[in-house]
Structures are given as structure tokens and as C-alpha cells.
Amino acid sequence: MIHIQHLNKSYKTAAGSIPVLQDINLHISKGDIFGIIGFSGAGKSTLIRCLNRLEEPDSGTIRIAGKVITELEEKELRQARQKIGMIFQQFNLLDAKTVYQNVAFPLEVAGYRKAFIREQVRAMLDLVQLSDKEDVYPFQLSGGQKQRVGIARALVNQPDLLLSDEATSALDPQTTYSILELLKEINRQLKLTIVLITHELDVLQHVCNNMAVLEKGRIVETGSVDKFFLYPQSDTAKRFVHIIDHYREKRNVWEGAGAGI
Amino acid sequence: MNDDLIDLLWKGLLETLYMVFWSSLFALVMGIILGVTLVVTEKGGIYPAPAVNKAIGTIINGVRSLPLIILIVLLLPLSRLIVGTTLGPTAAIVSLSIGAAPFLSRIIENSLKEVSAGKIEAAISVGATPFTIIFRVLIPEALPALVRGITIGIIGIMEFSAVAGAIGAGGLGSLAIRFGYQRFREDVLISTVILIILLVQIFQWSGDSIAKSIVKKRYKFE
Ligand SMILES: Nc1ncnc2c1ncn2[C@@H]1O[C@H](COP(=O)(O)OP(=O)(O)O)[C@@H](O)[C@H]1O
Ligand SMILES: [Mg+2]
């Protein structure tokens, strides 16, 4: 589904050129929920934003669903983006539009007829359980409801791929859980591939099948989520999982001593 | 109150409204085009074009740094070319529009810049064209700020028109100077001032009401 080869990206600043992604190679299968984890500043957002070219890579190739994204012209790129949904930490809904109009926007951009748009938007709002909020403005919604609108907007044009950049990081644990459940449900129902960025183990453990660890702009580890928790290899992975090990040891000590908690 | 006062004020008021209406319209058209272009072409904008951005910015700053009265004098030949005269309200519209356009451009630029980069990115990510982003995202999202800014701009043009009155543009400004200052008609001076204050209040109130109604629609709890 997604093939990334030798991807490089650096930011030019007054102090010179700072490499942010270095020789990224990654393969993500169709239908997977793929997590990318790393500490703040590791380059996670830059990587996911290269996938729909919100950031322009310096070099390397990205292939998504057979299309070489990195070679597309403006117009082709806009068409490709219609089939790559994206959700954001800050939701990024339009204040001037109602829930309905926000979700309808991608379909209007794609030039569909009104009747078709109505049908699709209604079905999408039904899926994210916001049918009763159609004519409400985003301001009136809770964080979780806003992200549901964001998800509906990202999926209404039936994309092959959903990109999620810390989509639950602004939400409380309970709302995070319900949004993650929704993503899992959508992945199952629509056979949608999801690439999800997070710095939270919870999120990773709850929804992802496979994953990669990003450390200072390099992928230092990739494989199944189970393998990551059981046999962390990289420094970053060990630092993430360390706390779990800490308690596992504690438990062993307790149980060895016959003590209860 | 005598009849000639009412006649004078009425004529002055009509001339002022005439100048303000057309100057605002032309300045607004130029201001929106330039303001939108500035935002769109800036570094990191939706259609970056640093050279264009720099050129427009420099021209705007140049025009803005000239005192209005000097700008009007400089633009007299242009007035003659376009409307055939350098006197009267119609001639003043040329100078006022061009004088106010850079000011409005900056106001509009600043209002548009308030729209968060995230909203623009969301639009880019669904495959929207720059044209769609400008008209369906940027301008609607900035609308309350735009209305407030444009109100300030129109009131500014109103003040400009009074200054232009000093050099033969007509309107309330010219009334105050010709009768109030040069002929010591205090009644004319005072009524003109009151009228100008009233006009400014009405403009401000209208702008505020429009902006408020937009905000209320979007940001209210049920
Ligand atoms: N527009 C930019 N200009 C310069 N540096 C940037 C820019 N965006 C991100 N960076 C830098 O790139 C690095 C990676 O950023 P990012 O991809 O946002 O990391 P993450 O999402 O993992 O926290 C950081 O050091 C950040 O400061
Ligand atoms: Mg980030």
C-alpha cells in the first residue's frame, strides 16, 4: 500500500540546513493500522506530512496505492490528496461552516452533485454518530465530537488511506478511547489503511498492528506492536517500555515474596 | 437655523457620501485584490511568490508613507486624465481610492493572516485548489475580522475626504473650511462637525453590528 524509499527531508533555517528525516525506508500493508512512535521533535509530523506532501521531501520516493506521490504534478497531487484523508490534533474544522458543510467540503472540492453529497455526508455523520448535529457550528461541539467531524470529513470521499497526526492528543483518556474504537471500527468496516502518529503507548497498544520507532529523524525499529513491547530494541523503544518493565520486575519481586498488592 | 445652512449641509452631506461611497468601493476592490495576493504569495502561503509579494509590499509601503495631502497633489494629473478635472468630488474619488487602497490592503492582509494555518492545511489535504481555499476557506473564516477592518477603512476614507475638501474636493470638509474657517460662519462649522461625528458613529455602529451578527451565528451556545 505504502512504500517509502530513501526519504530525506531537512529544514532550512538561519542557522543552516537541519536534517529532520534521514534515509527513511518503510513498507505499510493494505488494511494495516500502522503506528509511528517517537519522542517530541523526532520528525513524526514531518514524516506523515510528506505522505500527502504537505511537506515537500528533499529526495526519495513515496508510493501510495501504486501512485508515485513524490513525482505528481500540482493537479495530479490534488487528485491524489482527495483519496488520502487526514485528521489533526487541533481538529482544524472550519468555524464558518456547520458540521454538515464541513463534512461536505471535500466532496464539493471533488465536484460531486448535491444529491450525492447529501447522501454521502448523511451516511458519514451516521457512522460517527453525529446525525443530530448536522446544522450545528463546530464551536458548540466537545473535543471528541469535533474529532468525529474531522474523521467524517477525512473519510467522506472514501479514501484508501487515513493519516492521523496525534489525533487524540488533545482529548481526555475516555474520549481518546472512544475515538480509537471508532478508528478500529472504520478500519474493519471500510478496509481502510490507517497511519497513526502518537507519542502515547496506550494509543499504540490499543489500535495498531505494526509500527515503527522514529528517533532523531531515523527509523530505528520496525515490526509488530507485540514485538515492540516484548523485545524493545532501540534506545527510544527501551525508554518507552522501560516503565512497563519496571512494574513487571516489581510484580515478580512481590509475587516471589508472596506479598499482595 | 436658516435655509441656506440646511441647503449647504445637505449638499455637503451628499457630496461626502458620494465621495466616500465610490472611493470605498474602488479602494475595497483594490484592497481585497492586493491584501489577498499578499497573504497568498507570502513565504509558506498557499501560492508562494516572494518576488510578487516583495514588489506589492514595497509599493504599498511607499504610497502609505506619503502624507495624504501630498498624495492628492501628486495624483492630480491622474484625476485630470481619468475624469477630466482636478476639482470637485468626482476628481477626489481618484485620489481617495488610490490613497486608501494600501491602507485597506494591510488591514485585509492582517485579517486574513488570523486564519490558522491548520484550517488551510485541512483544505489542502482534501485536494482543494488555491482558488477554492481563498474563496471558501480564507475569506469566510476571516469574515468578522474583515468586516471590522473594512469599517475602520471606510471611516478612514471619510476622514481623508474631509482633508481632500481643503483643496477643492467639496463635501463636508470643504464646507467647514470655506465657510467655517474662511468666512467665520460658526454655525456652519459646528453643524458640519456634528454631522461628521454622526456619520462616523453610524458607520462604526453598522460595521460592528454586521460583525457581531456573524460572530453570534458561529460562536453561540444553544
Ligand atoms: N517548518 C519548520 N522549520 C524548521 N524546523 C522545523 C519545521 N517544522 C519542524 N521543524 C523541526 O523538525 C523537527 C521535527 O519536527 P516534527 O516533525 O514536528 O516532530 P514530531 O512531530 O516528532 O514532534 C523538530 O526539531 C522541529 O523543530
Ligand atoms: Mg508532531
Integer CA distances (angstroms), B177 to A22, A88, B15, B95, B188, in order: 71, 60, 15, 19, 10
Q: What nine digits make up the cell of B14?
A: 451628499
Say yes or no to pLDDT of B1 above 60: no
Mutate to test the interface with A, among B46, B112, B125 (most CBs of A within 10 A): B125
- Phi, psi (deg, nearest 5) at residue A55: -115, 140
Element (H, E) at B151: helix B139-165
Of A69, A119, A121, the C-alpha closest to A99 is A121
Mean model confidence pLDDT for chain B: 91
Q: Nearest by CB to B218, from A86, A96, A110: name it.
A: A96
Distance CA A226, CA B171 (A): 80
Q: What is the mean pLDDT of residues B67-96?
A: 87
Check if the beta carbon of residue A152 is closer than 8 Å to that of residue A133. Answer: no
Q: Could you tell me which residues are beta bridge partners of residue A214?
A: A219
Q: What is the CATH number of the domain that holds B86?
A: 1.10.3720.10
- Phi, psi (deg, nearest 5) at residue A32: -80, 155
Q: What nine digits make up the cell of A161?
A: 488511506
Instruction: Please give the ipTM for the structure prediction.
Output: 0.91
- Phi, psi (deg, nearest 5) at residue A75: -70, -45
Residue nearest to atom 6 of ligand 1 (CA): A11
List the domain range (segments joined by +) for residue B49: 5-221
Q: How confident is the model at residue B184 (pLDDT cuts 50, 70, 90)?
A: confident
Q: What is the mean pLDDT of residues B166-190?
A: 83
Q: Hey, which residues 157-216 in chain B have their CB within 8 Å of chain A?
A: none
Please tell me what DSSP assigns to residue A43: S
- Phi, psi (deg, nearest 5) at residue B44: 80, 0
The torsion of the CA quartet A155, A156, A157, A162, rounded to 10 degrees, works out to -10
Residue nearest to atom 5 of ligand 1 (CA): A11
Instruction: Produce one character per residue of B49-87: b if its CB has 16 or more CB atoms within 10 Å, e if not.
Output: eeeebeebbeebeebeeeebeebbeebbeebeeebeebe
| Chain B: closest CA distance from residue A124 (Å) | 16
Of ligand 1's listed atoms, the one at least distance from the Cα of A165 is: 21
Instruction: For residue B139, give the chain A residue with the closest CA.
Output: A96
Residues of A within 8 A of B218 (CB-CB) are 95-96, 137, 139
Rounded (5°) CA angle B194-B157-B152: 85
* Domain count within chain B: 1
Q: What is the pLDDT along chain A (261 residues), one digit of tens a residue?
A: 999 999 999 999 888 899 999 999 999 999 999 999 999 999 999 999 999 999 999 999 999 999 999 999 999 999 999 999 999 999 999 999 999 999 999 999 999 999 999 999 999 999 999 999 999 999 999 999 999 999 999 999 999 999 999 999 999 999 999 999 999 999 999 899 999 999 888 899 999 999 999 999 999 999 999 999 888 888 888 888 877 777 777 878 887 776 555
Instruction: For residue B142, give the chain A residue with the closest CA.
Output: A96
The answer for residues whose C-beta is within 8 angstroms of residue B37's C-beta and 6 or more apart is: B52, B53, B56
Instruction: For residue A158, give the chain B residue with the closest CA.
Output: B126
CB-CB neighbours of B155 under 10 Å: 18
| Chains A & B: contacts with CB separation below 8 Å | 73
Element (H, E) at A2: strand A2-13
Distance CA A175, CA A155 (A): 20
Integer CA distances (angstroms), B76 to A239, B20, B81, B87, B156, in order: 73, 18, 9, 9, 20
Q: What nine digits make up the cell of B214?
A: 456573524
Q: How confident is the model at residue B3 (pLDDT cuts 50, 70, 90)?
A: low
A45: CA distance to ligand 2 center in Å? 4
Check if the beta carbon of residue A223 is closer than 8 Å to that of residue A210. Answer: yes
- Predicted TM-score (pTM) of the model is 0.89
Please tell me what DSSP assigns to residue A8: E
A47: CA distance to ligand 2 center in Å? 9
Q: Nearest by CB to A92, from B122, B127, B220: name it.
A: B122
CB atoms B127 and A54 under 8 Å: no
Please tell me what DSSP assigns to residue B134: I
CB atoms A86 and B220 under 8 Å: no
Say yes or no to pLDDT of B89 above 70: yes
Task: Tell whether B43 lies on the interface with A, counting CB pairs under 8 A.
Answer: no
Q: How confident is the model at residue B177 (pLDDT cuts 50, 70, 90)?
A: confident
- Give the 3-state secondary structure percentages of chain A, helix then strand then coil, rounded to 5: 45, 25, 30
A128 alpha carbon, distance to own chain's centre: 17
The answer for residues whose C-beta is within 8 angstroms of residue B71's C-beta and 6 or more apart is: B63, B95, B98, B99
Query: Which ligand is closest in space to the CA of residue A89?
Result: 2
The DSSP result for B164-190, as a single string, is: HHTTT--HHHHHIIIIIITS--HHHHH
